[in-house]
Amino acid sequence: MLNRRHELGVTLLELIVGIAVVSMLLMVGLPSFGLWIQNTQVRTAAEAVQNGLQVARSEAVRRNANVRFTLSNANGRVEWTVGCVVERDTCPAVIQTRNAAEGGVNGRVGVSTEIPPAVVPATQYSTALAAGEGLTGAGGAGVTFSSLGMMANPAADVHRIDVINSTTADARRLVIIIGSGGLTRMCDPRLSLSENPQGCS
């Protein structure tokens, strides 16, 4: 009695059909994947800015001194420094920094010192701040936190930071709002605050 073994494998035709199906799926999914990458870069840049603000606020309280968070790149790249306004032995001029080369390269920021109204209209954040807007002055723009964790100079400090993508207009935009009390909030201007807690206004 002869024992025949069955050969396992795929034919050339099955392999070609499989490659064609995978190629079509990739062509359909690549644009969405590219947009997802750009949105992730915006989110990473916004979180880096918000983390810097939180470091500055906590260091101001911890060191019992005025500590400044400064965005210093005139092109809007996410580059910041946290340091004491008045340098002392217990409070250095530079506590922490973030270099523009860290993280994604497409995230950009624009800032505004305009104090938001008490009742925020629905159109308050509908227009994006341009990359580098408000950052062209000497030394950049930022927020100084007092030893109580509040804004030391609300009339001159930044109250709004827009984070946009420099290469894709379709990418998500995020806004960081800094209140006079020192609290920060990140929101999405496309969402309505009345319907979604992640909305801006």
Q: Percent helix, strand and coil across the chain, each rounded to 5?
A: 25, 20, 50
CA atoms of 177 and 183, how far apart (whole Å) = 8
pLDDT at 30: 64
Taking only the tens place, the pLDDT of each residue in 36-73 is 888 889 999 999 999 999 999 999 999 999 999 999 88
- Whether the per-residue pLDDT at 152 is higher than 90: the answer is yes
Taking only the tens place, the pLDDT of each residue in 106-130 is 889 999 999 888 888 888 888 888 8
Give the global pTM: 0.82
CA atoms of 40 and 138, how far apart (whole Å) = 31
Query: What is the token pair recorded at 91?
Result: 């409070």
Q: What is the DSSP letter of 127?
A: S
Name the CA dihedral angle for 119, 54, 84, 76, rounded to a multiple of 10 degrees.
-70
**pLDDT, average across residues 177-191:** 92
Q: CB-based contacts of 80: which residues, under 8 Å, 6+ apart?
A: 48, 49, 52, 69, 70, 71, 72, 97, 98, 142
Residue 4: which pLDDT band, with cuts at 50, 70 and 90?
Answer: low
CA atoms of 190 and 153, how far apart (whole Å) = 30
Is residue 110 helix, strand or coil? Answer: strand
